[in-house]
Amino acid sequence: MSGHHASSAISADVRAVEAFLEQRGVLDPGEIDTRIDEFLAGGSPANGARVVARAWVDPAFTDRLLADANSAIREVGLSMAGGIQEQRLKVVANTAEEHNVVVCTLCSCYPIALLGPSPSWYKSEAYRSRVVRDPRGVLREFGLELPAATSIAVWDASAESRYMVLPRRPEGSDGLTEEALAGLVTRKGLIGTASV
């Protein structure tokens, strides 16, 4: 079965289930599309940047974030409950010894609520396959040259689990406010293809 044919068959099945649930009164007509639109509208890299900035100024929050990210992000008014079931979020912290990068090798699973819609390169087959085999080379192509002694951990997202990188706080940022710190964080930094 070709990929396009399989996708069409799945789409038809999903539409049939949606129609059945609407007929039974479980869903209002168009409710699934409305919920998806609401979920996407709230997702932004600014949300992930807020989480990172809080972690940079509050070591206790950092500990909670790394231990149980789903609970910790609720403290800043965010959630991973974009669908029927809350997605598991794991935040991984960059250190001088280890750099983290996120991928979804099967498709493009990604924490939309914290990073906004995924960039096209994240969904590309080239990124998905190469970052696992040659993470250092791929990061170099993004302009991120890591010291040879720094190990690289690649985290593979799935339908149930999402990952976000906690970048290292930039040198010389001690006097900045939490809001100013959030302004330093990029979506690439949250994925791990940039340092911040």
- Write down the pLDDT at residue 34: 66
Which has the higher per-residue pLDDT, 64 or 31?
Answer: 64
Q: Which domains does the chain have, with CATH numbers?
A: 3-37 (no CATH), 43-191 (3.90.330.10)
What are the binding residues? 104, 107-109
Angle at CA of residue 112, ends 107 and 115, nearest 5°? 110
The whole-number average pLDDT for the span 9-20 is 78
CA 196/CA 193 separation, integer angstroms: 9
Q: Containing H/E element for 189?
A: helix 187-191
Q: Is 92 helix (H, G, I), strand (E, B) or coil?
A: strand
Please spell the DSSP secondary structure of 12-39, one letter per residue: HHHHHHHHHHHHTTSS-TTHHHHHHHHH
Contact 114, 51 (CB under 8 A): yes
CA 48/CA 116 separation, integer angstroms: 9
pTM of the model: 0.80
Q: Give the model confidence (pLDDT) of 111-166 as tens digits.
A: 999 999 899 999 999 999 999 999 999 999 999 999 999 999 999 999 889 999 99
User: Which active-site residues does the annotation give?
Assistant: 104, 107-109
Please give the structure tokens belonging to residue 158.
Answer: 């799935």
Please give the structure tokens belonging to residue 53.
Answer: 């900035």
Angle at which helices 45-57 and 59-67 pack, to 10 degrees?
A: 120
What are the binding residues for Fe(3+)? 104, 107-109
Question: CB under 8 Å to 33, separation ≥6 — which residues?
Answer: none
- Write down the pLDDT at residue 2: 45
- Write down the pLDDT at residue 83: 58
Q: Give the model confidence (pLDDT) of 38-64 as tens digits.
A: 555 568 999 999 999 999 999 999 999
pLDDT band (50, 70, 90) for residue 108 = confident
